[in-house]
Chains A and B, each alone.
Chain A
Amino acid sequence: MAVPTPPAAQHDRGLPAPPAGLKAWLTSPAPASRTQARLGRFYRGWRGFVRNPAAMAGFVIVLLLLVVAASADLIATHSPTVAGDLRTERLLPPGGEFWLGTDDQARDIWSRIVHGSRVTLVVVLLVSVISMPVGLAVGTVSGYAGGVVDAVLMRITDIFLAFPRLVLALAFVAALGPGIENAIIAIAITAWPPYARLARAEALQLRGADFIAAAKLQGASPLRIVAVHIVPMCMPSVIVRVTLDMAGVILIAAGLGFLGLGAQPPQPEWGAMVASGRRFLIDQWWVAAMPGAAIFIVSLGFNLLGDGLRDVLDPKAAER
């Protein structure tokens, strides 16, 4: 092609020049390099994602949450824990000085919600980081080993699945003692069984694959086969599932906080804030409603994002 080389293509090892414009370069049906092809695929996935308004809304909400959590100290107008003047600043309605009103300790609700986003994010991240490897390990070992190992591990999984998650988490927190760390551990303990099930189903399919036989032929030990060949294949579906579960994790964390078993006062945790506002629900509705709205919006955001990600990441769903 005799098109003049646009600046974007000059890194491109002097291969045929794409038509002018970054968009045309990204959507070119004949990518000139692997990098271009890869970026193009990413771009098409992104376009599909943007076209889905619900997913985009979820993405924006989660992005906002991240920004708010990162810059909580700048955004918050007051201290989240230090009380104001108890005589004049208690239970004030939303207004100019206190944007979302104040609670019964004369603390600014807006600042507490902003700081509470950090607690929520920490809970979500830590629960994912703890429960995903556990679920993956149990599921892949169970699926690959089969026989007695499979039976034992899956019955343990069944026992965990037999309880409602919040009830089981409650029992664990009650045993471990209240506190945000213990709440995270308790939620993680109740979160892994679905991942184990998912990973096991994939491992069962892979177990008979030829490339697993090839790995055996090279003398790889069962542990090595699971770690090197099976776990990476199970990752995508488990990651999508974890994203979809994040909203549930937020709700359970808030539920534990509401029951007084999660974050302890004066830590600003949304569930605990709703619980403390319960007493003033009729006359000072904003004390409970504001953190409640935060829980609602953020879990909705994670749900929408998870759905959108699944549509983009799963090529079978995208064709429809």
Chain B
Amino acid sequence: MSAENAAGTPPLLDVKNLSVRYPLRSGVVEAVRGVSFVLGRERLGIVGESGSGKSQTGRAILGLTPQPGIVAADRLRFDGIDLLSLPPREMRRLRGRRISMVMQDPKYSLNPVMTVGAQIVEACRVQKLAGGRAAKDRALDMLAAVKIDDPRRVFGLYPHELSGGMGQRAMIAMMLVGEPDLLIADEPTSALDVTIQLEVLKILDELVATRGMGLVFISHDLRLVASFCDRVLVMYGGRIVEEVAAARLGEAGHPYTRGLLGSAPRLSGSVHPLPVLERDPAWLA
């Protein structure tokens, strides 16, 4: 495993037997069931279909599982800090400054009544990085870092005045302004145009590489993840069914992964009948 650390320092993120349960009136829903993985300063992709628990895993790491969810794990450590027993105040200090998250749709994840600049400045202020002019300079630098051509103009714009790609870049700027060690990207490009997707990914990739962050990239796009990440976890029904190096995705052994790969459309030749995912209840056992 690439994350096994020879030097003996703890890995960035160490998850063992993580489970997220929702006790509802209609019974207990198990969203995540016994997920374990270790992450160093690398890019880890998590793929799976809707409801496979990939987003729930990301939220559980940040301690943002919505009520009435219950998070349990044998081990949930970030840089040697036990996240499960951390008091809320300490957890808040960790968020943004050490772990951050880029969300799916900038239309909803940016405050509609605050300008982009004000939101990034607010992020600085929350994390007690800087205030006043220093915060503004920092925000402008960050906007420039996500390849926004005219940071001064965008600084004063409201989210509805931005395109999707610009909005997501602003979101990335806002989430990276605290220079976190770990970034969780929860389908950061799903709401974007295909042509913009690659652009945003390139920016994300550069920032992650230059700042030496760990990245958890959650997506349902298997090929995208394979081209972008070092390692891929395939989730199904709240479990990790397969872990494979991105370069060797073609040699994946699990029938579910093979099914996902087979379902991807091909440009050359027609496939008849169209492949259908097979789901074996035995995988959930």
Contacts and interface: CB of A to CB of B under 8 A. Distances in A.
Interface of A is mostly: helix
A229 interface: yes
A47 interface: no
Interface stretch (B40-48, B101-109, B135-143, B192-200): B101-109
B175 A211 contact: no
Nearest to A212: B111
A319 interface: no
A214 B113 contact: no
Nearest to B128: A219
Interface residues of A, number: 18
B123 A210 contact: no
Contact of A218 (B112, B113, B114, B126): B126
A217 B108 contact: no
B64 A211 contact: no
14 contacts: A209-B108, A210-B108, A211-B109, A215-B122, A215-B126, A218-B95, A218-B100, A218-B122, A218-B126, A218-B175, A219-B97, A220-B126, A221-B92, A233-B112
Given A220-B92, A233-B113, A214 B126 contact: no
Query: Which 10 A-B pairs give the minimum distances between C-beta atoms?
Result: A210-B108, A218-B96, A219-B95, A219-B96, A210-B109, A219-B92, A211-B111, A220-B126, A214-B109, A218-B123
Contacts of B225: none
Interface of A: 208-211, 213-221, 224, 228-229, 232-233
B105 A210 contact: yes
A233 B105 CA distance: 20
A229 B113 CA distance: 8
A211 B126 contact: no
Given A211-B112, A224-B126, A217 B101 contact: yes
A206 to B, nearest CB: 10
Contacts of B103: 210, 213-214, 217
Contacts of B97: 219
B174 interface: yes
A2 B110 CA distance: 40
B187 to A, nearest CB: 12
A211 B96 contact: no
Contacts of B94: 219
A232 to B, nearest CB: 5
Given A217-B95, A217-B101, A218-B96, 8 more contacts: A213-B109, A214-B110, A214-B174, A215-B111, A218-B123, A228-B122, A229-B114, A233-B112
A213 to B, nearest CB: 7
Contact of B93 (A208, A209, A216, A219): A219
Contact of B171 (A214, A216, A232, A233): A214
